[in-house]
Amino acid sequence: MEPVEPPPPPPSPFNPTPRPMVPTGRSGCSKPLVIGCVVLFLLGAVGVIGGLVYLAKNATSLLQWSFRQIETSVMAQLPPDVTPDERERLRQAFADATVAIQGIQGDPARASRVQTELMELARSARSSNLTREDVRKITESLERLAGKEPEQTPSPPG
């Protein structure tokens, strides 16, 4: 009995000539596909490394930008019972903390502490209805961030 050869593949609807049979010993991805995947991977790796270098060089300016966003958010949400003196103290605390943030470049340990403080501030500022007590805590936190001893103001009766 002679071996039966498989029938040729059907013709393509776009090209009516029958396709030649591919040798069965060959499998896997084609060279152009592999090369394209490697190139894409390398471009992605270069992009990630470039992003990390950018972050390392501009960490202070990015930190200042996020700090300005927090300041804008807090100042826009001040409750009506905050006195002008408390408002001015808060504004001054933000200004002093801004100077402190500018001075942390080159000090990774201090930068880490500042980032932790800013995360706490951002969490406090996210509250949609700040209270006078929240404003006092934020002001004291900013004063500590700036390296000043927070003024001891009595908590409002409540």
pTM value surpassing 0.75:
no
Does pLDDT of 119 surpass 80? no
- Give the Cα separation of 46 and 104 in Å (integer): 28
Nearest Cα residue to 60 out of 97, 111, 94: 111
Q: What are phi and psi of 89, to 5 degrees?
A: -60, -40
Give the pLDDT confidence score for residue 84 in this predicted structure. Answer: 92
- Please, which pLDDT band fits residue 88 given cuts at 50, 70 and 90? very high
Q: Is residue 96 within 8 Å of residue 149, measured between CB atoms?
A: no
**Arithmetic mean of pLDDT, 116-136:** 76
Give the pLDDT confidence score for residue 45 in this predicted structure. Answer: 96
Q: Is residue 72 within 8 Å of residue 126, measured between CB atoms?
A: no
- Please, which pLDDT band fits residue 158 given cuts at 50, 70 and 90? very low
**Arithmetic mean of pLDDT, 137-144:** 83
Q: Is residue 90 within 8 Å of residue 142, measured between CB atoms?
A: yes
Non-local (6+) Cβ contacts of 136 within 8 A are 86, 153, 155, 156
**Arithmetic mean of pLDDT, 3-21:** 70
- Please, which pLDDT band fits residue 17 given cuts at 50, 70 and 90? low
Q: Is residue 98 within 8 Å of residue 47, measured between CB atoms?
A: no
User: Per residue in 18-76, pLDDT tens?
Assistant: 556 655 555 677 888 889 999 999 999 999 999 999 887 887 778 778 788 888 888 88
Relative orientation angle of helices 108-125 and 132-145, to the nearest 10 degrees: 170
Give the pLDDT confidence score for residue 135 in this predicted structure. Answer: 84
CB-CB neighbours of 90 under 10 Å = 21
CB-CB neighbours of 153 under 10 Å = 12
Domain chopping of the chain, boundaries: 57-145
